[in-house]
Structure 1
Amino acid sequence: MSFAFRHSYQQSLPGSYLDHQPDRAPDPALVALNLPLAEELGLDPDLLQREGANWFSGASLPPGAVPVALAYAGHQFGGFSPTLGDGRAHLLGEFSGPDGRIWDLQLKGSGRTPFSRGGDGKAALGPMLREYLISEAMAALGVPTTRSLAVVTTGEQIPRDQGLLPGAVLARVAASHIRVGTFQFFAARGEGAKLRALADYAIKRHYPELSDNPEPYLAFFDAVTQRQAALIAAWMGLGFIHGVMNTDNMAISGETIDYGPCAFMDEFAAGTVFSSIDRQGRYSWANQPHILTWNLARLAETLLPLIDPDQERAVERLNDRLQGVAGLYREAWLAVMRRKLGLGGAQEGDGALIDDLLPALTGADWTMFYRRLADWAEGRPEGLRALFQDFSAIGAWLPRWQARIGTDPGAAARLRAANPAVIARNHRVEEALAAATSGDMRPFHALLAALRQPFSEHDSYGQPPGADFGRYVTFCGT
């Protein structure tokens, strides 16, 4: 099957996009095609193999595609920009999977648009393969995420700080590309009718169960809050740091979107930041739950005229909701950590047990700790001890955890089922991207295969970097 596109977003929301053609790649080549995802989406792998280089590079377009650049606004590192939009991306349309779910197909790195703000609209191969790797890792870990269908090189060399790099385009599928910033775009312009149409469309597409709710917009805010709280808690449990939690990177669907300067922690430190541009630590690991509330407050501001014609009443009602975000996130976080720690059910005192673990873990490998805890539960303590230079703090915590799980023989199995042995380790990602940029895709495919089996032991891919890897810094790729 090909895509059988439809274009409900454009039809429902005029003024939210600009018609624009992607650049035509001069010499496209398909370097990565996500065959498992293609089959899941009911697409013909042979057809994609034949046509993907052209379709996913802008050299030609799949039948029925109507490319547009989406408009949105957003708070970027706390500062509001009323007009952002797709500066290097083109939405081709929507298509249905075998299960009836609707997916967007978007090209990223496909050339300048009217929203490019001085950028070249291009993408280098490394950052596009990075999004492919990490989005596939997140999908395998069960985290809601956009997915990467393909990466195509364009035959161009594009200038970046590192010099000339091979250009590439990513084909991305998503439940939609509606962001908090999309709501901000219309709210900032005082376009109340278009804002209401956007909210109605988002409810119909992502939360259809709310269509008969007597207060659909308040229920919509609640539903987005629930999904986002669960998403950020999942990130936190994996040691994942998004890096750019701007409101234009917060999807209404509850998916992880826009993998720019993201990374997974190796050694645990609550203030960990990887992004080269996050000099104040706004989007550090520990700050992500606070930014969740901040971003939801920005969404709430846009919904005020839809909640109640009396602004004071609308503010009061949404403030009540915002006051509860921290509690909703706390519930989601405790649920994640109970699974990670192999705790059966919920008991009083779990919160304190979990809270006290974090300072004791500082400096230890976040991912390996939980796998080694399974070994500890089976009476093999050596691996866990080896993670700590000073075992005293964790040694004081462990008897409390042991008392909580008791003699449960299933605890070790639950730990291994809940905690990955393999994540997208930064040094492995960089090795794969460097090799791919030089023309060797073998390390990329080997790493990808390991990331798709995250709960299986892989001696080479499960290990942290050596001391010579140094401090890791990530970049946006623009």
Structure 2
Amino acid sequence: MPVSPAYRPEPRFFDLGADYADAVQAADFPQTILRFRNDRAAAEVGLEGLSETEWIAAFGRFEPLPGQPGPLAMRYHGHQFRHYNPDLGDGRGFLAAQMRETPRAQATSDRVARDSAPSRLLDLGTKGSGTTPWSRSGDGRLTLKGGVREVLAAAMLEAQGVPTSRAFSLIETGEALERGDEPSPTRSAVLVRLSHSHVRFGTFQRAAYLGRVDQIEALIEHVRTLYHPGVAAGDAPSLLTAIVEASAKLTARWIAAGFVHGVLNTDNLNVTGESFDYGPWRFLPEYDPAFTAAYFDQTGLYAFARQPEAVFWNLTQLAGCLKLVAEVEPLTQALNGFGPAYIRELRAAFLMRLGVRSLGEAADQRLVDATLALLREGGAAMRWEPLFFDWFGGFASSARALSGPRAKLYQGQAFDAFRFALMEHEPDRIERLEHPMFAAREPEEMLIDEVEAIWAAIATDDDWAPFLAKLARLEAARVAWGFNA
């Protein structure tokens, strides 16, 4: 298989042994129709040179990539809507491969080069690849609609600067699936995502549930070495601190993006603070603290404004696992760092989304408060994403915003407070406003009606043009915003 010289396989999770995963085989699908491949992501791991036939062999039939021993279904437990479930694990996916990211200064991607940054270990993980020992009564499959939705969610979040897994491949598999929550039979697919670790909070929970101190210690060393190398060997509280800070950054970026993950269970959060596994996600149309993404979240446990609370609760479950090897007090101190870290990261996230520089804690907080107040008081007319689009670059965009389609909204007491807070801050990289995207009247959003329309074109007419056009616009938006997660 013609991988590039930059391809560097390093299947490190496989080193942990049989206590952490099970060797599995992918399903034998009746069809393998390539619907999406992420060539920019492929270039970051040295796989951009694969032909379509080779790509399908690797990510539709899962013939092992060079230097990879074969797929593993990872073992983990988790709290699902705060109810502990010891019967989890990879039930319709597996870890297919691990490799080092190509050196950032030489990568063909558009990531910001940081010569001093260590090359990250990345995973190729699947969704819909067939049954495993952890499938229970499930069929191990993924609907094509679910795959399309995950591709769209990841692309939008990456454009907005959220630390996220990236959809790497989507292949339609030719099976008719029965589902109780959507019209059936429905089309099937297998998705591959590129992610910075699939070690979940639930991975630690399983070891703790079994009382395996040795497994907790092995996981700490594995995670510390590969993902948080600044942490000293055996220092569980410092490792928890690193995970707390990464999780606080992720949560703040979700909020600034107006994103609702939908299912913030402990098996859906990982040790690197990278968002992944997009099921019933939604983006806010307008400010609504109670907005939920999942129809089955009837209590609003994972509503938009409750996401920081949900992430913190999950972190406390991780800390509980680490009590097997560390004292309670330093673990508590690490947990107590979440609130300050989240507030700090929320300020940074809002400044990033508004394209302005920090002026100091007090001024930055005034801007966050004024932005949220304007969104809140503007109601349904003051849509979330257009506000950040109109005022990106700070007051340098005032002429554009005040002559645009929402000009009439920008008046009144709440807007005055927002304007004064924004005027305090200088634009950050003002040249970004020269991108053609900012000449448009509307930003790229990802609201449910558009997602459903994109899927309807596929489901009704097998028309992939709206899907591909949306991804092209999101890629342009990613370049225009110039965020680096």
TM bracket, shorter-chain basis: 0.7 to 0.9
Q: Is the 8 A contact 1:128 1:170 kept in 2?
A: yes
1:348 maps to amino acid: A
Alignment partner for residue 469 of structure 2, among 446, 451, 454?
A: 446
Change (3 A) 1:68 1:350: closer
Alignment of 1:244-283 (within 5 A): 244-283=263-302
Q: Is the 8 A contact 1:339 1:415 kept in 2?
A: no
Q: Is the 8 A contact 1:422 1:456 kept in 2?
A: no
Question: Residue 114 of structure 2 corresponds to which residue in structure 1?
Answer: none
CA positional deviation for 1:87: 0.8
Per the alignment, in what secondary structure is the counterpart of residue 126 of structure 2? Answer: strand
1:15 maps to amino acid: D
1:42 maps to amino acid: G
Distance 1:40 1:328 in 2: 30
Per the alignment, in what secondary structure is the counterpart of residue 107 of structure 1? Answer: strand
Question: Residue 457 of structure 2 corresponds to which residue in structure 1?
Answer: 435
Alignment partner for residue 383 of structure 2, among 356, 359, 365?
A: 365
CA positional deviation for 1:144: 1.7
Alignment of 1:287-436 (within 5 A): 287-307=306-326, 314-341=327-354, 342-362=356-376, 363=379, 364-373=382-391, 374=394, 377-378=398-399, 381-383=402-404, 385-386=406-407, 388=409, 392-398=412-418, 400-401=420-421, 404-405=424-425, 421-436=443-458
- Unaligned 5+ segments in structure 2 are 104-118
- Unaligned 5+ segments in structure 1 are 308-313, 459-478
Alignment of 1:41-440 (within 5 A): 41-47=45-51, 49-58=52-61, 60-62=63-65, 64-99=68-103, 100-160=119-179, 161-210=182-231, 213=232, 216-307=235-326, 314-341=327-354, 342-362=356-376, 363=379, 364-373=382-391, 374=394, 377-378=398-399, 381-383=402-404, 385-386=406-407, 388=409, 392-398=412-418, 400-401=420-421, 404-405=424-425, 421-438=443-460, 439-440=462-463
Distance 2:480 2:126 in 1: 34
Q: Is the 8 A contact 2:359 2:424 kept in 1?
A: no
Distance 2:207 2:54 in 1: 37
Per the alignment, in what secondary structure is the counterpart of residue 277 of structure 2? Answer: coil
TM (normalized to structure 1)? 0.85
Per the alignment, in what secondary structure is the counterpart of residue 45 of structure 1? Answer: coil
Q: Is the 8 A contact 1:5 1:65 kept in 2?
A: no
Q: Is the 8 A contact 1:13 1:198 kept in 2?
A: no
Q: Is the 8 A contact 1:422 1:457 kept in 2?
A: no
Per the alignment, in what secondary structure is the counterpart of residue 148 of structure 1? Answer: strand
Q: Is the 8 A contact 2:160 2:353 kept in 1?
A: no
CA positional deviation for 1:177: 0.8
Distance 1:35 1:411 in 2: 27
Change (3 A) 1:296 1:379: same
Aligned length: 446
CA positional deviation for 1:57: 2.5
2:424 maps to amino acid: R
CA positional deviation for 1:352: 4.2
Q: Is the 8 A contact 2:40 2:48 kept in 1?
A: no
CA positional deviation for 1:395: 3.4
Distance 2:419 2:98 in 1: 53
Per the alignment, in what secondary structure is the counterpart of residue 421 of structure 2? Answer: helix
Q: Is the 8 A contact 2:166 2:194 kept in 1?
A: yes
CA positional deviation for 1:46: 3.6
Per the alignment, in what secondary structure is the counterpart of residue 41 of structure 2? Answer: helix
| CA-to-aligned-CA distance 1:320-345 (integer Å, 9 cap, x gap) | 22222111111111122233443542
| CA-to-aligned-CA distance 1:101-158 (integer Å, 9 cap, x gap) | 3222222101121211211111111111211122122223332221221111111111
| CA-to-aligned-CA distance 1:163-208 (integer Å, 9 cap, x gap) | 1111100012222210001000100110110111011111111012
Per the alignment, in what secondary structure is the counterpart of residue 452 of structure 1? Answer: helix
Alignment of 1:25-44 (within 5 A): 25-44=29-48
1:18 maps to amino acid: D
2:417 maps to amino acid: W
Distance 2:55 2:351 in 1: 43
Change (3 A) 1:274 1:416: farther
